[in-house]
Structure 1
Amino acid sequence: MENIYFGSCSWKYPSWEKLVYSSNSVENYLAEYAQKYRSVEVDQWFWSLGKKSYGLPNRNLVAEYNQATPPDFRFTIKCPNTLTSTLAYRGGAEPNRLFLNPEVFNKFLDRVEPLLPKIGLLMFQFEYLNKDKMASKEAFMDRLGAFFSSLPKGLPYAVEIRNPWWIDTAWFSFLKSEQVAPVLLQGYWMDDVSTILQRHKDELGDVACIRLHGDDRKGIEKATGEDWSRIVTPRDEELLRFAPLVARIAQEGKVLYINVNNHYEGSSPLTISKLEKLLGREE
């Protein structure tokens, strides 16, 4: 199933020695990572809110990422939260005047342009939107539709939302109409991904992303001591429900990005190994 891309959320973890890396101090973590996996999620440019120049990517770093990876490698990149936060500061009340601002996105796109052939998804991750932040799902879709209509066409856009009850047939229909991929999150009080896939498997579109996260970030960091080389919160039952659905969707020719966070079970590489075994892809 070459249309399934397994990857982690970030990659520079010395504790992945022997799981991914030959040592805990390799010269180029990404280059060695790319020998084992075909994709990775990049979130380092997401945390941009309030930063000078929106925390735009360093051009030299982007070039390094390009040089470190083969042509068939794929990056799923979280776009700056300057674009997706309704408020100007975390915990504040001042509206973010750059919310869904096409100019900010175009500046970001200009910085990551060398990676474009390798970008699998440009992901817009939104926070939970209560009525103080967004009047309704319909109002949100109107804003989002206007935003996408002003962006360059033909790029692999994707959207993740944190309002569970907004994920319905109307939501998937909207994404299809905008040619935008859905990003489904496992964790953070969202509905179980397997349930969503069973209910909406025929509405996903040609490309989708599933991000496997846990529910207790601080708890798992304490349990692991940030040594991400072992499973500390097994989720075998979830994975057993999840894997057959992934296989069925992939068999229909859809492209799936499965982004696994260390916080899901304690070790992204070990979770990926479980999934590959369940899908009969273990080396």
Structure 2
Amino acid sequence: MQNSLFGDAEATPSAPATISSRSVAPAMPDPALIALAETLPAHLRLGTSSWNYPGWAGLVWDREYPATHLSRYGLAAYAQHPLFRTVSVDRSFYRPLNVAQYAEYAAQVGNDFRFVVKAPSLITDALVRDESGKGMRHNPHFLNAEQAVQMFVEPALEGLRHRLGALVFQISPLPAAWLTRMPEMIDRLHRLLRAIPALQPKAPDGVVAVEVRDPQWLTPHFVQALRDTGATYCMGLHAKMPHITEQLPILRALWPGPLVCRWNLNPLHGAYGYEEARDLYSPFDKMVDPDVETRNELVRVIAGTAGAGQNVFVTLSNKAEGSAPLSVIALARALCNHQGPDHS
């Protein structure tokens, strides 16, 4: 059973906090969630994708704060939520972070907290894109092993140290012509993964995971590249990828090993429905489109992996069901029910 992660909340000031204050207070602890957290496997870490959402007031924060304020000062309060033992650092996808920035994150959370960190798009996107996301030209740094280690792996490992959970290389959709060259792409990925130093001396729970947005990657050649380098597959629950049950053969081929999963987008919105989901679900304070089928399948995968003593890192986006914190609660409750006497 996992230990309670709910630390002592920062004392609430008698007067309302000002915007200039460098603190964010957590929401009042819910005893039911503390009790729920105690039922979950010790090897399981649930969390959300980033933490800068004002609409989580009452769910994560004691009140509404500006998004920029939460981005800078909200992590410590986030980590006091009873069910949050990890978080996906998405900021690193848009711009590489340095050792000091990672160390600042690490200093705001407890010893048992683990980070899931996305590699910079400079490494994982085959195209250089404009502000709208449209590809402009080929990216000469795509899957460059030396740069991946220098600008991502080494700073994250040095800054986060034992609080590092998973380094995720989310490979963006490839240009159509490149999808006919998958053996070449996988060989390039293999070289990158082979260049990554061992994480365990500094991060005992650390794992390298690869998430893709083209199903053409999912081949025996891909599995061999992961197995050969000690990396794993990050199961991406996104409309651009096959259903969760169709991704499971990759995990079975890599078994035994950890589970890294990012539940990104409800399939109702289609492969290019990110903005639609964002606009529909904002301010992300309620469940809008519960995806019970995906949740139940994910519960089985989590239970089997954690039950075998393997680490599990699962992060959920607001775009999955409407509110990431509520999705985490729903997933935790489903796991608790699955572990009951009727499911043993």
Q: Same fold (TM over 0.5)?
A: yes
2:254 matches 1:204: yes
What is aligned with 2:79?
34
> Would you say the 8 A contact 1:56–1:111 is kept in 2?
no
Q: 1:133 to 1:244 in 2, by over 3 A?
A: same
What is aligned with 1:50?
none
2:155 matches 1:104: no
Q: How big is the shift at 1:172? A: 2.5
What is aligned with 1:246?
302
In the alignment, residue 261 of structure 1 is paired with which amino acid?
S
Q: How big is the shift at 1:131? A: 4.7
In the alignment, residue 137 of structure 2 is paired with which amino acid?
E
> Would you say the 8 A contact 1:3–1:254 is kept in 2?
yes
Q: How big is the shift at 1:134? A: 5.1
2:238 matches 1:194: no
Q: Percent identity?
A: 27
**Which one is further off, 182-191 or 26-35?**
26-35
What value does the CA root-mean-square deviation take over the aligned residues?
2.3
What is aligned with 1:219?
276
2:321 matches 1:277: no
When Rg is computed on C-alpha atoms for both structures, the one with the higher figure is: 2
In 2: Cα distance, 1:93 partner to 1:218 partner: 20
In 1: Cα distance, 2:250 partner to 2:139 partner: 33
> Would you say the 8 A contact 2:182–2:216 is kept in 1?
no
**Paired residues for 1:101-140 under 5 Å:** 101-105=144-148, 106-112=150-156, 113-133=158-178, 135-140=180-185
Q: How big is the shift at 1:153? A: 3.0
2:193 matches 1:148: yes
In 1: Cα distance, 2:229 partner to 2:301 partner: 25
What is aligned with 2:117?
77
> Would you say the 8 A contact 1:201–1:249 is kept in 2?
no
Q: How big is the shift at 1:165? A: 3.8
Q: How big is the shift at 1:168? A: 3.9
TM-score (ref. length: structure 1): 0.87
In 1: Cα distance, 2:165 partner to 2:216 partner: 27
In 2: Cα distance, 1:174 partner to 1:58 partner: 28
- Aligned residues between the structures: 273
2:73 matches 1:19: no
Q: 1:217 to 1:134 in 2, by over 3 A?
A: closer
What is aligned with 2:31?
none
**Which one is further off, 168-177 or 253-262?**
168-177
> Would you say the 8 A contact 1:124–1:160 is kept in 2?
yes
In 1: Cα distance, 2:127 partner to 2:197 partner: 25
Partner SS state of residue 193, structure 2: helix
TM-score (ref. length: structure 2): 0.73
Unaligned ranges ≥5, structure 2: 1-40, 200-205, 339-344
Partner SS state of residue 115, structure 2: strand
What is aligned with 1:263?
319
**Which one is further off, 175-184 or 187-196?**
187-196
> Would you say the 8 A contact 2:47–2:86 is kept in 1?
yes
In the alignment, residue 34 of structure 1 is paired with which amino acid?
A
What is aligned with 2:106?
66
Partner SS state of residue 190, structure 2: helix
> Would you say the 8 A contact 1:194–1:242 is kept in 2?
no
In the alignment, residue 76 of structure 2 is paired with which amino acid?
A
> Would you say the 8 A contact 1:86–1:133 is kept in 2?
no
Partner SS state of residue 83, structure 1: helix
Q: 1:181 to 1:92 in 2, by over 3 A?
A: same
> Would you say the 8 A contact 1:79–1:122 is kept in 2?
yes
Q: How big is the shift at 1:92? A: 3.9
In 2: Cα distance, 1:143 partner to 1:60 partner: 30
Q: 1:87 to 1:201 in 2, by over 3 A?
A: closer
Asked which structure has the greater RCO (Cα within 8 Å, sep 6+), the reply is 1
**Which one is further off, 226-235 or 61-70?**
61-70
In 1: Cα distance, 2:137 partner to 2:274 partner: 28
